[in-house]
Amino acid sequence: MYNSPQTIIQGDDLILDNSNSTAELYPPEDGSIYIALSNGIFQYTYESRIPQTINHSEQPQTFTLHNIQPAAGVAPKKSFIISFAAQKTIIQYLRAGNMGAQIPLGSENFVFTGTADAIKGNLADNTLSFGNNLTDSSSSYWYGGDADICYCVDGKYKFGIGVRVYYEFTFTTPDSSSDSTAQADGYFFSIVNGTNNSKNSTGGAPAGTSMGELLGYAGPERSDGNDKDNGLRPPQMGIEFDTYPNYRESDICKPNSRNDPTDNKNHMALMYWSDNPTGSCTIGGTSYLKSTFDDNQHGTGGSGGYPPANSIKSDGTGGFYAGAKNGSYNWLEDNTLHRFRLEIIRAASPNVDDTYSYTTKAWVDCAGCSDSQLATFKDLTVAYSDRTPQINRIVTLTPADHQAFDTMLFGWSEATGSSTQTIKFQNFNMFCAKSTCAYGTK
C-alpha cells in the first residue's frame, strides 16, 4: 500500500501489504490511524484491533473503512488521500497538517447541564454558542461520549503524559466600558479528574443567588445524584477567561469575592481548587459546602503550598495574563476571533519527593503570524515553541491526586449575573501526546 495505490470499495479492508513500509507508516509505539472525513477528523487506534503478538514489521495489517466519503488517512509518519469515486483509491501521499481529533461541538456526545438555552451547539456548522444574552445563567458542556482518541469511555479520557487543545472563540457582545462591566462574566475551559467526577458534574451558583463570577467552575451546583450540591470534585484545573471584575468582597460566600485585580482588565488565569476550607455557605436557607465556593478565587491555596494556589496577577508563577484593549474594546470582548492553544504535560514518573509535575502552557492569538506560522500554531502533533506562552506554570500533585487524574473529563462552563454575554466557539481540536517532540524555535 505504501509504495503503490490500492483500490477498495465501501466496507472493504485497507490492507497494509508492504511489511517494511507498514513498520515505517505505523510505528507500534504510536499505533493509530486518522480518517479525515468531510465533517471532521476522527482518530481510530488499530493496535487494540490486532493480536499483540503480531510483529508490525513482518505481517500486513488491515483497517476497515466504513461510510466512505472524500477522506484523508494520516499515520504518525505518513499520510495518504482516499478519493471520492465509485472506487476508492489511495492516489497520493502528503504531509500531515493540523493533526488532532476535531470533535464536532454540536455533537450529541456532549452533555449540557444548567440554565436552559445558555449553551447551544450547532452541528451543521460545528459551532457552539455560550451565554446567549441570558441573565443569571450557569451552565457546563462536557464531552460525554466514547472515542478512540485517548481511549475515551463515557467522556473519561486517559490523561497519559498530557493533552493538547486548540479552538477559536469570539465574544460577539463587545464591551468598551472603562471598568469592563457592560457584559459578563466569561467562561472556563476545564480538565477535571475522572475518578471523582462524571459527565454530569458541574459547579455554579445555587438557586436564589446571582454569582456569575463562579463561571460554572466554582460553586456547589451539581446534578449527578449521590454527590449533588458538592460541585466539581478535586483535583481539577482550568483556564479562566474572566471579563468582569469581582474584588470588593472578602467573604467567598457572597458576590464580588473573586479577588480579581483592581485594574478591571480582561484576563485569563490558570486555576485549581483552592484550599478546601471547612464550614458552609448558607444561601436561601440551604447550607452548601464552603470548599466549593473558592475554586476560582485568585491567590487562594492550601497551607504549606498544597493544594496549589490559584493564579493571581502578583504571584509571579506564570499562571496569569491580562491583555491590553483592542482599540476602545476590552481585550477579549472585542467581537474579534481569538485563537487558543493549550498544552498540559503530565509527568510519567515521580519527583524525588514522590510528587508528580504538571506543566500547563497556554497561548491566545497568533498576531502577525504568516500562513505557515499559523499552521504550526494549530498543529497539535508536536509541542509548540515558536512563541512565548502567556500562561506557563508548573505545579506538583500528590500521588493520590495524580492517580485520580489517570482519567480526565474536558469541557466548558459559563455564567452570567445581571450583565449578559454571547460567545461563539469553533474549530475544536484535541490531541493526546505520546512524546515530547517539538518544532525547533524559529
Q: How confident is the model at residue 26, as a pLDDT?
A: 40
Residue 89 lies in a domain: no
Same domain, 273 and 313: yes
Q: Are 346 and 397 in contact (CB under 8 A)?
A: no
Which candidate, 282, 178, 288, 296, places its Cα nearest to that of 247? Answer: 296
Strand partners, 356: 397
Same domain, 366 and 253: yes
Peptide bond into 277 cis (omega under 30): no
Residue 413 CA from chain centroid, whole number: 11
Q: How confident is the model at residue 222, as a pLDDT?
A: 59
Better-scored residue on pLDDT, 319 or 153: 319
Q: Which of 27, 49, 82 is the last residue of a domain?
A: 82
Which candidate, 360, 175, 161, 183, places its Cα nearest to that of 271? Answer: 360
Band the pLDDT of 437: cuts 50, 70, 90: low
Residue 340 lies in a domain: yes
Same domain, 28 and 161: no
Same domain, 249 and 369: yes
The Cα 173–Cα 337 span in angstroms is: 12
C-alpha cell at 378: 494549530
In angstroms, the Cα distances linking 440 to 149, 367, 386 are 26, 20, 8
The Cα 310–Cα 109 span in angstroms is: 31
Beta strand ranges found along 186-319 (DSSP E):
186-193, 236-242, 267-271, 280-283, 286-289
Characterize the bridge pairing of strands 13-16 and 61-64. antiparallel
Percentages helix, strand, coil for the chain, rounded to the nearest 5?
Answer: 10, 35, 55
Q: Are 410 and 156 in contact (CB under 8 A)?
A: no
Band the pLDDT of 100: cuts 50, 70, 90: low
Q: Which residue has the cell 493533552?
A: 163
Residue 95 lies in a domain: no
Band the pLDDT of 151: cuts 50, 70, 90: confident
Residue 3 CB-density burial (10 A; 0-12 exposed, 13-18 middle, 19+ buried):
exposed
Number of Cβ within 10 Å of residue 94's Cβ equals 11
DSSP labels, 104-120: -TT-TTEEEEESTTSEE
Band the pLDDT of 269: cuts 50, 70, 90: very high
Peptide bond into 125 cis (omega under 30): no
Look at 141-145, 205-209, 225-229, 331-335 and tell me which has the smallest mean pLDDT.
225-229
Q: How confident is the model at residue 81, as a pLDDT?
A: 39
Mean pLDDT (whole number) for 163-184: 97
Residue 96 lies in a domain: no
Same domain, 13 and 127: no
pLDDT(224) > 70: no
Same domain, 54 and 147: no
pLDDT(119) > 80: yes
Spatial neighbors of 58 by CB under 8 A, at least 6 apart, are 19
Cα end-to-end span (Å), the chain: 35
Amino acid at residue number 243: T
Q: Which of 82, 117, 142 is the last residue of a domain?
A: 82
Residue 91 lies in a domain: no
Most confident of 145-149, 220-224, 237-241: 237-241
pTM given for the model: 0.78
Apex CA 27: angle with CA 5 and CA 344, to 5°? 120
Mean pLDDT (whole number) for 409-421: 97
Q: How confident is the model at residue 7, as a pLDDT?
A: 52
Mean pLDDT (whole number) for 107-136: 90
Same domain, 115 and 223: yes
C-alpha cell at 326: 483592542
Mean pLDDT over each residue of the chain, to the nearest integer: 79
pLDDT(123) > 70: yes
Q: Which residue has the cell 454575554?
A: 421
Same domain, 46 and 108: no
Q: Which of 23, 52, 82 is the last residue of a domain?
A: 82
Better-scored residue on pLDDT, 204 or 75: 204
Peptide bond into 104 cis (omega under 30): no
Same domain, 46 and 187: no
Same domain, 318 and 424: yes
In the chain, how many domains are there?
2
Q: Are 114 and 389 in contact (CB under 8 A)?
A: no
Q: How confident is the model at residue 72, as a pLDDT?
A: 41
Residue 109 lies in a domain: yes
Same domain, 342 and 300: yes
CATH number of the domain encompassing residue 271: 2.60.120.200
Give SS3 for 374. helix
pLDDT(43) > 50: no
Strand partners, 261: none
Query: In this structure, what are the phi and psi dihedrals at residue 121, rounded to the nearest 5 degrees?
Result: -100, 145
Q: Are 39 and 67 in contact (CB under 8 A)?
A: no
Task: Give the domain range for residue 49.
Answer: 6-82
Same domain, 123 and 76: no
